[in-house]
Amino acid sequence: MAAADIVVGGVAHGRPYLQDYFTNANKELEKDAQQDYHLDYAMENSTHTVIEFTRELHTCDANDKIITDSTVRVIWAYHHEDPGDSGPKYHDSNRGTKSLRLLNPEKANVLSTASPYFDLVNQDVPIPNKGTTYWCQMFKIPAFQEKHHVIKVEPVIEKGHESLVHHILLYQCSSNFNDSVLDYGHECYHPNMPDAFLTCETVIFAWAIGGEALGAEKPSGIHVFAVLLHAHLAGRGVRLRHFRNGEEMQSLAYDDDFDFNFQEFQYLKEEQTILPGDNLITECRYNTKDRSGMTWGGLSTRNEMCLSYLLYYPRINLTRCASIPDIMEQLQFIGVKEIYRPVTAKVPGASDTWLLQQVQSIP
């Protein structure tokens, strides 16, 4: 935990204490000369110690981390004894980490016990011995006699399998099928996958590892109110940029400290309006210095993605937006001067088919 911003607190002999510490580049714990943490509440009983404290987001202290909207990797540790004159004692195995967004607005509990709900659950899915598997299952939702609004969606994952499920996508599919497609599911993108799954294009909801339940408050008045930024193992930063009339506006969402294992919707502090003609760009930053081979875009977690999922209202007739790099610009960028590709040609009146080499120069 080199270069960590640390606060040490507790209750000793009925008196609470709180001190600002940091670790240097050698992972040595030092007391900060500038004490920026403020004790608000402390309580201790025979089983628990509770400490509440506050701190400015930006303290202008080189030993304190600036708190932003990005992911913060929080470390925790404790010892059964209070610190002595020599400082805090070593925690041994009493430690852990958790990724959080400290500035993500608190989630409102909008689901009452009287609200109806239904579960969409896979049945007995085998986990193959390979790095990445996409599993598709068709479900039929209950029939409703009148319009309903979805106010909360949360994952249902079997206990002990939390580390196996990376993300879940809920799609809207065509209704022109019978119940025969509602079987045990299939591996996605497999040649034998039923054609019915190809009609599932509109993403209704997205969840990724580390995320929690999402509740949507009733809209008060296209308005974006939450964004999920998505990349894979090499992802280090993701940003959703917003342009209007050629001018860049405030980013809709960003995470400059992206954590592959902690992906959840960011609730926007204020709803952002997207107008006709606006442009959105999802920009990703990667680090592949620890890899010896090429990293390609693709479905595996060792491949890469760069996606944003937006929650907004009112609904518009749009399934997805995507961009594809221009192949000629890419070839020019990496210094390719000419490309050779085979072309089959049949001479009129002849029975033979010729294989030719076509040479194309890159401008």
State pLDDT tens for residues 76-135. 999 888 887 777 888 888 899 888 888 876 666 656 667 888 888 888 888 888 888 888
Residue 174 binned pLDDT confidence (cut-offs 50, 70, 90): confident
State pLDDT tens for residues 209-252. 766 665 655 443 389 999 999 999 999 999 999 999 999 999 99
Residues with Cβ within 8 Å of 355's Cβ and at least 6 positions away in sequence, in order, are: 342, 343, 344
Q: In whole numbers, what is the pLDDT of the chain averaged over residues? A: 84
Question: For residue 280, is pLDDT > 60?
Answer: yes
Residues with Cβ within 8 Å of 251's Cβ and at least 6 positions away in sequence, in order, are: 239, 240, 241, 242
pLDDT of residue 224: 94
Query: Is 230 noted as a catalytic residue in this protein?
Result: yes
User: Cα(309)–Cα(298) distance, rounded to whole angstroms?
Assistant: 17
Alpha-carbon dihedral sign for residues 92, 93, 97, 102:
negative
Q: Which residue of the set 21, 37, 230, 309 is catalytic?
A: 230
Q: Which two tokens stand for residue 36?
A: 């920026």
Q: Percentage of the chain surpassing pLDDT 90?
A: 32
Q: Which residue of the set 17, 78, 134, 171 is catalytic?
A: 134
Question: For residue 357, is pLDDT > 60?
Answer: no
Alpha-carbon dihedral sign for residues 298, 300, 306, 312:
positive
pLDDT of residue 27: 84
More confident residue, 289 or 337: 289
Residue 342 binned pLDDT confidence (cut-offs 50, 70, 90): low
Domains of the chain, with CATH numbers?
Answer: 5-100 (no CATH), 135-313 (2.60.120), 327-361 (no CATH)
Half-sphere exposure in the Cβ direction for 64 (13 Å, CA): 19
pLDDT of residue 262: 87
The three-point CA angle 329-331-335 to 5° equals 115
More confident residue, 184 or 341: 184
Question: For residue 204, is pLDDT > 90?
Answer: no
Lowest mean pLDDT among 26-40, 165-179, 278-292: 165-179
**What are the backbone angles phi and psi of residue 88, rounded to the nearest 5°?**
-60, 145
Lowest mean pLDDT among 124-133, 266-275, 346-355: 346-355
Cα–chain-centroid distance for residue 352?
55
More confident residue, 152 or 45: 45
Q: Which two tokens stand for residue 57?
A: 């987001």
pLDDT of residue 240: 96
